[in-house]
Structure 1
C-alpha cells in the first residue's frame, strides 16, 4: 500500500450522484452481478472486479485509462495504473465522504439519547428512512423501467423464436419429415400475449438485494405456496373486518404490479404487512405479463418488520429465509388457518436420543421447530476424508493422511451430508453424558447420541453451511455438493422409516464468490408451466438443461436446496 497521485483526478459530484441510488450498485455490463463491484471515481462506471469472469472494471480501465476505483461493499481503494492499494485521500477528503455516504445507505441509522450522567444510549430509529430518488418526487415520474425492459425482452425472444422456428423447418424439410399440418400452421404454439413471460419474470436488484431475489424465486416455485396463496383473499384495508375482504383473484394484475413497484412508505398506506406484499408480488410473478418487476414495496415492508435488515448492505440468504418465514407466520392480517398451513409446510421436528451404556436408559430431547435443516459441510468433508484415510490403510494417523489432500477437492453428495447429520456420536472421555436415571444417579457415563426427525414438512429446505473457522479466520468452503433432482428418499431421516418420503427438487440458491459474507446470489428453479429448470440472475432468466445440473456445469456453489414432496 502506498500513496497515489492519481486520486486527484476523481470527480466527486458525478460519483456521489450515482452512488446515491442503491439500485445502480451492479455491474453496468453484467447488469446483475454484485459479487465484486467497483466504481470508477472519474466517470462513475460500475463494473465487476478481477475475481469475476468478465472483469469489466479492468476492461473499463483499459479502454478509458481511468485508474482509481472504489469497492462498493468493502470501501477499499485501488489504482490500476500503480497496481497497488491506495491509502491517501484527496486534499478535500472526498474519498472519505464517499465512504461515509455508502455507510449511511448500507447500514441503519441510529438515534442517540443522553442520560443525566452523560451516557449516550443508541437505538434504532423508529422509522427507517428509505432512499428517495429524484424521480420519486412529484413531477418526476419514472418513465416505466419494467415496461421498457419487458418490451426489449419480448423483442429479443421473438427474434430467437423466429430463428429457431426457421431452423426447425429447414431441418425437417431436409429430412423430409415436414407434415402438411405443420406447413399450414406456422403460428401454432405461440403463447398468449398476456402470458408470454410465465416462469421467466425476474426481480430487479434495488441495492444488494440479490439474496432476497434468489430466495423469493425459489419460494414462488413451490407448488404448496402457489396453491395456498392463490386461493386466499387479499388482506383487508385498515378499519375493515375480515368479512369485507375482497377476493384477490378479482384484482387485476396491473393493479398489483403498480403496487409492487411502488416506492411509497408502506406505513402511510394500508396493507403493508409482509405476507400481504409477498402475496401480491407472487401474483405478479405468476401472471407472466412482465419480464421484470421491482420488489420495492415488499423490500420496504420487510425492512420495517425486521429492523436488522434495514439498509442496503449484503445479507445472508439463509438468515433472510428464516426471518421471512417467521414474520409471515405471525401475520395477524391473515386467518389462523393460513398461517397454520404455512407453518406445517416448512416446519420439521428434530429430536435427539441419548442412550446410556451403563443402564441402557434412553432420554429424548425435541428441538424447537425449524424451517431449515442445516448441514455442516465442513464436518461432512472431514468425515469423508477420515473414512478414506482409514480405508487406504493409514489407521494410526487418519487426520494426517487426510491433510495431504486439498480440502477443496473433496466432493460429497447430499446423502453424505444427511448421513453425517444423523450419524451416531459417541460421548466418551471429555464429553461424557450425565445420566439422570435411578441407577446412574447423575453420574458421568459413556453414551451414544443420535439425531432423527419425528416429522418432515411438505417442503424441506436444506441449508448447506459453507462457513469454517480456522487459524486464518472465517472462510468459505468451496467443495462441490451433488444432489438428486428427483426421488430423494428422506425416510432415512425419520425415526419411523417404514413410510417412504420422496421429494423432488424445486429450487437452488447459489452463492458466488470466495467470501461467504459478500458475493452474489442467484437461483435455479423448476417451473411447472415450462416443465424445465430456469436460472434467475436478478432480472435475467434462461432455461437450464437438467444434464447441466447433474454434471454440475453451472456457476456458483449450492447454498439452499428447496425440495417438495412428490404428489
Structure 2
C-alpha cells in the first residue's frame, strides 16, 4: 500500500452534485459489484464504477481510456456470523431487492483512495480537502442504480390549480412539536398541512400498519387543500405533496413560500424519510416464486454457461424473457463476445452505462459466461452465492427515449422485442457494423395483396419485418371450458387467409370499393420470432382470449 502519492493535488477531482450519477455498487462494464473480489473503483473525476478484479479489471480500462488518476475503492466484506446453524432448506426462489439498511448490517464497508499510478493509498496519507470532500459526497450520495429505480417507479406527477390557491390560515400549531402527530403519538409518515401547519399521521394500511388517518381527517374537518410529507423535503424544492381535492400526489411550484409561512426554510431541509415512490419501489420488488412445477414436481436448480437467471427489477418479466431468448442465439453471442475489450477502449461514450453496445456486451457476458450463477448453497467464481444478474443499466439506456420502457409498468414482450431490435440496429449502423448486425437473423419480407372485388385489379406491396403476429382462433374455445385448444398451423392459416375490407379507394374504379386483403411470406428469416395476439375486439372493446 502506497504511503506517498504525488498525484493527489494535480489530479482532476470533481465534487458530485445532487444530479450526478455515481456508479458505486456495480461495474458499468460487467456485473461484478462492491462485494466481489477487490470491490468497485469509483472514478473521482466522472464517477464511473469499474471492477478491479484480475480477470477483467474494467477500472484500469477506464483509466487507460480517460487518464482519470484517482478513484475511491469501495469493498464490502460479509461480516463473520457467530451462529453456525446450517442453512435452511430452500423451498422458494426469491427474486427480491433487500432493504439497504438490512444489507448494510450484514456487510462491513472498507474504503480506500486509489491512484492508478501508485496503487491503493495508505490511510495515513493526508488527503487534500477537495479529495476528502469528493470521497465523502460519493459515500453519502444515492448510487446511480438506486436513483434509477426510484425515478422509474415515480409516476408522472404534475402540479394543479389548487397549489396556487393555498392560503395561510394560522401560525398557532407551528409552535407545537412537528415531529409527532398532533392527534396521536405517531412519529413516522407525518404530513404537515400547508395552510395551517397541522401535523397528522398517514393513512392506515390494509394490514393494520401505517398511520391513523389523522392527516386526511384534518382535511375532512377543515377543507385545507394540501399537505407535505415531513422528512421528504429537499433543498432543491422536491418533496412529497398531496392535494386532497385532486386526491393525487402533486408538485408544488410555490413550496418554498408555503413552507416559509410555516416557519420552515426550504434551503435548510435535509431528506430523512423515504418518499412514496421509494416505498412503492420496495413493495413492487418483492416477488416470491415456489420452486415447484405445476404438476407438483420439485424444480432442480441449474447453473453454468447460458444458465444464468435475470433478477426481477419490478414488472420486468417482459424484458427478461426477451433477453433470455435473444442471448441464446449464436449470432448475438458471437457479436457481443468478440471485441469486448477493444470496444471498451474505443467507445466514444465516456461512461459504459450510457452506451447501448457496452451494455449489450455486459449482458452477453452476464448471461453466458457462467460467472454470475451458482446453485443454492454453492458459490460462483467470485466466492459469492449469486442467482442472477440485474440489468438495470441496460434497461436505463434502452428505455431512455421511450415513455413505455423507461418506466416500471407491465409491458408487452412483443413490443419490447421489436423496439429493442430497432435500437440495436440503429446502434450497429452508427458503428458502421451493418455486415455483422445480429438483428438480421430475424429479418424477412411480407407481401400484402389487395384485390378489388369490383374490377378484380390487384396490387402488391412488400415490407420488411422481424416479428410475425399470429391471431388466435377464439372459436376453438371448448364450451364450458376455459382452455383454448389451437395449433400453430391453424394460427398461420388464419394469418394468411383473405380479409374483406370495406371502403377502400380503388385507383382503377376511382371510388370506394370492397377489397380482399391477404398477407404472405415473401422471404423467410433464419430465426422466426412469433407473437400471439391474445386480444380480440368484442363490440369495439379489446378482450383477452
Higher RCO, 1 or 2 (CA under 8 Å, sep at least 6)?
1
Q: Shorter-chain TM-score: what band?
A: 0.3 to 0.5
Q: TM-score, normalised by structure 2?
A: 0.41
Q: TM-score, normalised by structure 1?
A: 0.40
